[in-house]
Structure 1
């Protein structure tokens, strides 16, 4: 298991070191959420039923919302706050359809 071997190796070099799972996308200037894992057990405790790893909680000055699923059953993640870009350079059509007005 990659996760367990990673934590075992990490522990050899630094027992107090933590794993940070950061999430960000093209439209944000950096990461917008963070989840810290202290150990393999902690990581497994936070896995979803489907085995997905948490992207954590929003960082300061960022708001994250999960919007209702679309016709395919896929949720949409909406990020607002200081770290979100104002738009794509010279891409007004894309800006109008993908970036929410604040």
Structure 2
């Protein structure tokens, strides 16, 4: 679900309902298997999708942010800085 629909509702509540597990159980399983929280994984997946869009298209960061589920360019920027330690525009300049 996360990789197929990064723009979707990727909250622990939604994902646990989709998996048919309690939030607590999914959280424990996820951390044990992936080594990170559901929120961290969802953010990293969205950053990966946005990174690809930044290098493969001329779409604006604002448009890409909405497309991959960040909502706003500011949220996209904060996630990029947290995950990649570089802004989306710097990423585009460096890797295009």
Q: TM-score, normalised by structure 1?
A: 0.27
Please state which structure has a larger fraction of its residues in helix: 2
Q: Kindly name which structure, 1 or 2, has the bigger radius of gyration based on alpha carbons.
A: 1
TM-score of the two chains, using structure 2 as the length reference: 0.28
Greater RCO between the two (CA within 8 Å, min separation 6)? 2
